[in-house]
Amino acid sequence: MKFAETRNNAVPTYCVSTDTLLEVSATFDQTVKEWIQKNHFLGSIGQSVLCPTKEGEMIALLGMGNKNSRKRSRFSLAAAAKSLPAGSYEILNPEAVENFEIEALGWLMNSYIFDKYKNKKDTHAYLVEPKTINSKRILQIAEAEAFARDLINTPTSDMGPEDLALAAKSLANKFNAHYSEIVGEELIEQNFPLIHAVGRASSQEPRLLRIKHGNNGPKVTLVGKGVCFDTGGLNIKPGRSMGLMKKDMGGAANVLALASMLLSTDVNIQLTVLIPAVENSISGNSFRPGDILKSRNGSTVEINNTDAEGRLVLADTLSLASEENPDLLISMATLTGAARVAVGSDLAPFFTEKNDVSEILKASGEAQSDPVWPLPFWDPYEKLIEPEHADLDNAPSGGFGGAITAALFLRRFVSKPSSYIHFDIYAWSETNKPGLSKGGITQGPRAILHALPKILDL
């Protein structure tokens, strides 16, 4: 993702809504006006038109729709830009675009394509770097988005636990942060039994990744689920459900993107990133349904489904995070299909015990075109995660409230639940959308980034 390399030969571009089309077009010459009419350009979302002027030059018009239609499109400017031919475009009336900084980010995100394995590279319509916004900051965020998307889109053959560790280490080195990892049998020696149990069947050893940066300010810890592939274990998934499981490390990719966004600023926090990186594979030493496993904090867990492995690796990691007593603890995970049933694939549901935190996150998500939505830590459901023979059940029967019971499970491993926020994300776009190409995406990092100062002030 990048801006156009030069303003030279860029097409002058104007943004118009359905309400302002007549007013704006009145400033153009007759050749342009006739071209607008011939191409049935109305200023609707997703419309664009290249118009010749009487001097033989070209200008572009981008449709921004109206207030109601913009509510149905996350990135209106990106929607129009997608229909432009390859080239460079300079917007001359940015004041006509509501929340132009976020819309410019959407245009940048349009240019992302996962072409690592393609010999033919695609070309794009590039935006000339705007002068009216903090374009450097927008580019940093776009780069973090692209980093996460690349991680999620890369097949597990090239993005196993070892590769995810290398990516995390590379990010740490980029920002002069401290990186460390605990690998294989060291997990047992240092009391991370659930991480080891889930990942031990893979040919790549399970590991716990840690990034630390900063010595001053509030302690903020990010925990991301790094299941690089999820077969379901011995409760093996059907083939059609396994097809997208390279994205089961989407939580890890999202917290790494958020860390990149934070570290590229001068934010005054003590940041820790923790990622349990495993592959839930199948072999003779796979953990089994019916096993009762002991966790880092001493709680026992009855395994009723090996496909509910994400909460297991997160449990040990959240226990470690809590031992360091952070002021704010955030986990992100592609955890439950129940969350998708509840809110669909566009919204990122989250859990918090504080209503004011919930309102801050919702408002930030709306402002940043990174929509999030609260679900409850519903205490009456606690009994659903308490089986007969152990402290906790990793897969309660019944099928109701699956996202909530998973969140309640995770909360059991957090020492200060009032300072804990959990995101149950999808991390995937099913189709090509403006700013969101089909494949891996982030859900929540930009909302968290801009909400963080207000949350820490509470």
> Within this chain, do residues 155 and 29 fall inside the same structural domain, yes or no?
no
**What pLDDT, on the 0 to 100 scale, is given for residue 107?**
96
Q: Which residues pair with 393 in a beta bridge?
A: 302
In tens, the pLDDT along 256-283 reads 999 999 999 978 999 999 999 999 999 9
> Within this chain, do residues 191 and 108 fall inside the same structural domain, yes or no?
no
In tens, the pLDDT along 106-138 reads 999 999 989 999 887 777 899 999 999 999 999
For residue 277, is it within any domain? yes
For residue 6, is it within any domain? no
- Summary mean pLDDT of the chain: 96
> Within this chain, do residues 79 and 123 fall inside the same structural domain, yes or no?
yes
Question: Could you count the other beta carbons within 10 Å of the beta carbon of residue 267?
Answer: 17
> Within this chain, do residues 176 and 103 fall inside the same structural domain, yes or no?
no
Pairing of strands 48-52, 58-63: antiparallel
Q: How far apart are CA 197 and CA 174, in angstroms?
A: 32
Domain boundary residue, one of 88, 103, 133: 133
**What pLDDT, on the 0 to 100 scale, is given for residue 315?**
98
**What pLDDT, on the 0 to 100 scale, is given for residue 381?**
97
> Within this chain, do residues 163 and 260 fall inside the same structural domain, yes or no?
yes
Pairing of strands 178-183, 392-393: unpaired
Domain boundary residue, one of 87, 112, 133: 133
Count how many domains the chain has: 2
In tens, the pLDDT along 401-439 reads 999 999 999 999 999 999 999 999 999 999 999 999 999
For residue 56, is it within any domain? yes
Report whether pLDDT(73) > 90.
no
Tokens representing 141? Answer: 């965020």
Q: Output the DSSP codes for 68-136.
A: HHHTT-S-HHHHHHTTSPSEEEEES-GGGSTTHHHHHHHHHHHT----TT-SSPP--EEEPPPSSS-HH
**What pLDDT, on the 0 to 100 scale, is given for residue 183?**
98
Helix (H/G/I), strand (E/B), else coil: 44 = coil
**What pLDDT, on the 0 to 100 scale, is given for residue 303?**
98
Domain boundary residue, one of 78, 113, 133: 133
When pLDDT is cut at 50, 70 and 90, the band that residue 230 belongs to is very high
For residue 4, is it within any domain? no
Report whether pLDDT(308) > 90.
yes
Report whether pLDDT(5) > 90.
no
> Within this chain, do residues 336 and 447 fall inside the same structural domain, yes or no?
yes
> Within this chain, do residues 18 and 91 fall inside the same structural domain, yes or no?
yes
**What pLDDT, on the 0 to 100 scale, is given for residue 119?**
86
Tokens representing 88? Answer: 């460079």
Q: Which residues pair with 21 in a beta bridge?
A: none
> Within this chain, do residues 225 and 127 fall inside the same structural domain, yes or no?
no
Angle at 292 between CA 288 and CA 293, to 5 degrees: 95
For residue 363, is it within any domain? yes
Q: How far apart are CA 441 and CA 247, in angstroms?
A: 10
Report whether pLDDT(399) > 90.
no
For residue 257, is it within any domain? yes
When pLDDT is cut at 50, 70 and 90, the band that residue 242 belongs to is very high
Which stretch of DSSP H or E encloses residue 182? strand 178-183
Q: How far apart are CA 2 and CA 7, in angstroms?
A: 14
> Within this chain, do residues 116 and 148 fall inside the same structural domain, yes or no?
no
> Within this chain, do residues 289 and 265 fall inside the same structural domain, yes or no?
yes
Contacts of 150 (CB under 8 A, 6+ apart): 114, 116, 440
For residue 313, is it within any domain? yes
Tokens representing 178? Answer: 């401290």
For residue 51, is it within any domain? yes
Q: Could you tell me if 77 and 49 are in contact, meaning their C-beta atoms sit under 8 angstroms apart?
A: no
Contacts of 277 (CB under 8 A, 6+ apart): 161, 164, 165, 168, 199, 206, 207, 208, 209, 226, 228, 249, 252
In tens, the pLDDT along 279-290 reads 999 999 999 999
Mean pLDDT of 62-74: 86
When pLDDT is cut at 50, 70 and 90, the band that residue 1 belongs to is confident
> Within this chain, do residues 94 and 150 fall inside the same structural domain, yes or no?
no
Q: Which domain holds residue 100?
A: 11-133
Q: Which residues are catalytic?
A: 237, 311
Q: How far apart are CA 124 and CA 400, in angstroms?
A: 45
Q: Could you tell me if 57 and 89 are in contact, meaning their C-beta atoms sit under 8 angstroms apart?
A: no
Q: Which residue in 374, 373, 380, 372 sits closest to 405, CA to CA?
A: 380
Mean pLDDT of 69-80: 88
Q: What is the CATH number for 343?
A: 3.40.630.10
Q: What is the CATH number for 114?
A: 3.40.220.10
